[in-house]
């Protein structure tokens, strides 16, 4: 029975290929409701029960009242007079959130990337050296293309920017091709699930 | 009170969390662990507001008949059904919510994402046209990657393999070319983008911490 319902709902979703229709809209709303309910339950369980209720009432960690109160301050959104208080928990989430981002971002996305690009060629084969040089040229020319403060009037400057465009097109094409294949693999997987369900019914 | 206190909270919180990454002090490490837990607790209360907004919106649509009443009712009923089942039976393996998740949500979400295959193919048809040099490079790179990721690409590589002084060499080595494009030039341009994106994120984060960016206070 469940298999039949899932199969019908999958057909409703696929019916969108013929245009927007009531069957798709119904399934779409069903997915929204189930996802929202599941997301709410998951966060309620992970955040409220495990991080607030159990520490407060079973483990006697009374300090968790502070984030609890801070969270409750969100409800001041509904008051016209006191709604500025709802900005306090938001400020906490925002301030600590962006603070948590800065260090790891600089470490992983800048320092380690520079480290991986500026390598020592000693002991490498000719092929590896050429590959690293290509990576370096692609990196520098792409960055040069996006340095809008520089004027690109002279032929040499235009050439560097054009090499950057060439590498970007190569990368975009590869990424697009990769994405197409990923989506088609997912479609094949869905078609497989679809036929598995049909065979399990009959 | 209305402006200064939130700005002060952002400044202190941002500075503490930034410094704790670089300074190894037990107090800061404990604050860091506590902040991660606090985020979860505070987020639950924010979620209550989001749920209220969802319910209000759907109820309004139902009452005002801005769309067919079946749609908002479907959202409301499915939402409350899942929440009630979760409250009474929990979320553990074998529970009704887990059953709904595995048998409905997962295959339906996969089906929705699989729809993108059709639209991305249509987009590819329009994008991959050899109009000029740049678009030709885009087309060739995409075709190589597509060929390199399907079994036919492997077959062509096998068919066109020749032996030169005892070493096998594929003339049309699509899988090899794909690997090279993805791991060499693609890595270079991705790094350039990562640098740009990271500098943007860090500068915006600093603007928020220092109170220069105040859009969130409105």
- The ipTM, to two decimals, is 0.82
Mean pLDDT, range A152-173, rounded to an integer: 89
Q: How many domains does chain B have?
A: 2
Top-confidence residue, B148 or A149: B148
Kindly state the tokens that stand for B82.
């899942």
Q: Which of B89, B105, B137 is the last residue of a domain?
A: B89
Q: Whole-angstrom Cα distance, residue A125 to residue A131?
A: 10
- B95 in the same domain as B84: no
pLDDT at B93: 86
Shared domain for B77 and B53, answered yes or no, is yes
Separation of alpha carbons B107 and A10, rounded Å: 8
Residues A130 and A202 in one domain: yes
* Structural domain boundaries enclosing B119: 90-127
Q: Determine, yes or no, domain membership for A66.
A: no
pLDDT score of A156 more than 90: no
DSSP one-letter string for chain A: -HHHHHHHHHHHHHGGGG---HHHHHHHHHHHHHHHHHHHHHHIIIIIIIIIIIIIIIS--GGGHHHHHHHHGGGGGG-TTTGGGGHHHHHHHHHHHHHHHHHHHIIIIIIHHHHHHS---TT--HHHHHHHHHHHHHHHHHHHHT-TTS---SHHHHHHHHHHHHHHHHHHHHHHHHHHHHHHHHHHHHHHHHHHHHHHH-
Band (pLDDT 50/70/90 cuts) for residue A102 is very high
Looking at the fold, whether B95 and B55 belong to one and the same domain comes out as no
Per-residue pLDDT band at A107 (split at 50, 70, 90): very high
In this prediction, residue A201 has a pLDDT band, given cuts at 50, 70 and 90, of confident
Predicted local confidence at residue B216, as pLDDT: 82
Closest by CA position to A172, among listed B142, B192, B197, B187: B142
pLDDT at A49 over 80: yes
Domain range for residue A22? 1-60
Residue finishing a domain among B65, B89, B113:
B89
B29 interaction partners in chain A (CB closer than 8 Å): none
Averaged confidence pLDDT in chain A: 89
Any B CB within 8 A of A124 CB = no
Same domain, A132 and A201: yes
- Chain A: closest CA distance from residue B159 (Å): 23
pLDDT in the model for residue A183: 87
Is residue B4 one of the residues assigned to a domain? yes
Q: For residues A134 and A195, state if they share a domain.
A: yes
Q: Is the same domain home to A111 and A131?
A: no
**B38 falls within a domain:** yes
Give yes or no for a contact between B73 and B62, defined as CB atoms under 8 angstroms apart: yes
pLDDT of residue A1: 78
Band (pLDDT 50/70/90 cuts) for residue A108 is very high
Residues A166 and A98 both lie in one domain: no
User: Per-residue pLDDT for A149 more than 80?
Assistant: no
* Same domain, yes or no: A28 and A82: no
In a domain, B106, yes or no: yes
Q: Do B71 and B2 sit in the same domain of this protein?
A: yes
Location of structure tokens 């993805």: B182
pLDDT of residue B206: 94
Q: How many domains does chain A have?
A: 3
Q: B159 lies in a domain? A: no
Show the 3-state SS of A144-181: HHCCCCCCCCCHHHHHHHHHHHHHHHHHHHHHHHHHHH
Which of helix, strand or coil describes residue B95? Answer: coil
- Let me know whether B25 and B59 are in one domain: yes
Take residue A15 and report the two structure tokens written for it: 């019916």
Interface test with A, best of B142, B197, B209 (most A CBs within 10 A): B142
| B43 plus B1 within the same structural domain | yes
Q: Which of A42, A93, A117 sits opposite B42 (nearest CB)?
A: A93
User: Residue A191: pLDDT band by 50, 70, 90 thresholds?
Assistant: confident
The chain B residue lying nearest A16, using CA atoms, is B115
- Could you give the CA distance from residue A61 to residue A197 in angstroms, rounded to a whole number? 49
Binding-face residues of A in 2-61 toward B, CB within 8 A: 2, 5-6, 9-10, 13-14, 16-17, 22, 25-27, 29-48, 51-52
Asked if A180 and B146 touch (Cβ cutoff 8 Å), the reply is yes
Whether residue B75 sits in one domain with residue B94: no
pLDDT digits (tens, 9 = 90+) for A50-92: 888 998 889 888 888 999 999 999 999 888 888 888 899 999 9
Instruction: Find how far residue A14's CA is from the centre of its chain.
Output: 25
- Among A37, A60, A83, the domain-final residue is A60
A199 and A161 assigned to the same domain: yes
Separation in Å, CA of A108 to nearest CA in chain B: 10
Question: Residue B137: its pLDDT value, please?
Answer: 92
Tell whether B81 and B97 lie within a shared domain. Answer: no
Whether residues B54 and B103 fall in one domain: no
Same structural domain, A100 and A154: no
Q: Are the Cβ atoms of A174 and B70 closer than 8 angstroms?
A: no
Whether residue A195 lies within 8 A of chain B, CB to CB, comes out as no
Are residue B4 and residue B68 in the same domain, yes or no? yes
Q: Is B8 a domain residue?
A: yes
Query: In terms of domains, do A96 and A131 share one?
Result: no
- Looking at the structure, tell me whether residues B64 and B81 fall in a common domain: yes
Comparing CA positions, the residue from B147, B141, B172 lying closest to residue B159 is B172
Mutation site, A12, A102, A148, interface B, largest B CB count within 10 A: A102
Specify if A68 maps to a domain: no
Q: Could you list the pLDDT tens digit for every one of the 218 residues in chain B?
A: 788 899 999 999 999 999 999 988 888 888 888 889 889 889 888 888 999 999 999 899 888 888 888 899 999 999 999 999 999 988 888 889 999 998 889 888 888 888 888 888 888 888 878 888 888 999 999 999 999 988 898 999 989 888 888 888 888 889 999 999 999 999 999 999 999 999 999 999 999 999 898 888 88
Q: Is residue A67 part of a domain?
A: no
**B214 CB contacts (<8 Å, ≥6 apart)?**
B3, B7
Range B175-178, long-range pairs (CB < 8 A, 24+ positions): B175/B148, B175/B149, B176/B148, B177/B144, B177/B148, B178/A174, B178/B144, B178/B145, B178/B147, B178/B148, B178/B149, B178/B153
Same domain, A103 and A154: no
């Amino acid at each position: 029975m469940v298999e039949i319902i899932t199969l019908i709902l999958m057909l409703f979703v696929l019916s969108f290929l013929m245009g927007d229709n009531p069957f798709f809209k119904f399934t779409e709303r069903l997915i929204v409701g189930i996802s929202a309910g599941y997301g709410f339950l998951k966060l309620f369980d992970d955040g409220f029960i495990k991080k607030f209720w159990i520490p407060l009432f079973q483990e006697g960690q009374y300090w968790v009242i502070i984030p609890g109160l801070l969270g409750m301050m969100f409800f001041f959104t509904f008051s016209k007079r006191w709604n500025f208080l709802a900005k306090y928990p938001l400020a906490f989430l925002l301030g600590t959130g962006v603070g948590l981002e800065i260090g790891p971002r600089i470490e992983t996305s800048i320092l380690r990337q520079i480290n991986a690009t500026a390598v020592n060629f000693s002991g490498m084969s000719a092929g590896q050296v050429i590959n690293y040089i290509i990576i370096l040229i692609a990196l520098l020319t792409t960055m040069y293309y996006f340095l809008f403060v520089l004027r690109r009037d002279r032929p040499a400057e235009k050439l560097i920017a054009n090499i950057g465009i060439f590498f970007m097109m190569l990368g975009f094409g590869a990424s697009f091709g990769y994405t197409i294949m990923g989506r088609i693999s997912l479609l094949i997987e869905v078609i497989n699930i679809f036929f598995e369900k049909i065979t399990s019914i009959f | 009170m209305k402006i200064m206190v939130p700005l002060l909270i952002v400044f202190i919180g941002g500075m503490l969390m930034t410094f704790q990454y670089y300074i190894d002090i037990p107090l800061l490490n404990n604050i860091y662990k506590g902040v991660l837990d606090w985020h979860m607790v505070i987020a639950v209360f924010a979620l209550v507001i989001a749920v209220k907004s969802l319910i209000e919106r759907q109820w309004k649509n139902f009452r005002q008949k801005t769309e067919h009443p079946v749609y908002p009712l479907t959202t409301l009923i499915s939402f409350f059904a899942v929440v009630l089942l979760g409250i009474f039976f929990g979320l553990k393996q074998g529970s009704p919510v887990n059953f709904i998740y595995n048998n409905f949500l997962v295959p339906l979400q996969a089906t929705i994402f699989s729809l993108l295959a059709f639209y991305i193919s249509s987009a590819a048809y329009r994008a991959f046209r050899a109009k000029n040099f740049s678009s030709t490079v885009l087309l060739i790179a995409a075709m190589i990657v597509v060929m390199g990721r399907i079994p036919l690409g492997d077959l062509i590589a096998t068919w066109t393999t020749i032996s030169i002084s005892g070493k096998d060499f594929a003339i049309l080595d699509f899988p090899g070319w794909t690997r090279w494009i993805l791991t060499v030039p693609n890595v270079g341009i991705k790094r350039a983008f990562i640098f740009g994106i990271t500098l943007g994120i860090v500068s915006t984060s600093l603007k928020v911490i220092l109170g220069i960016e105040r859009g969130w206070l409105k």
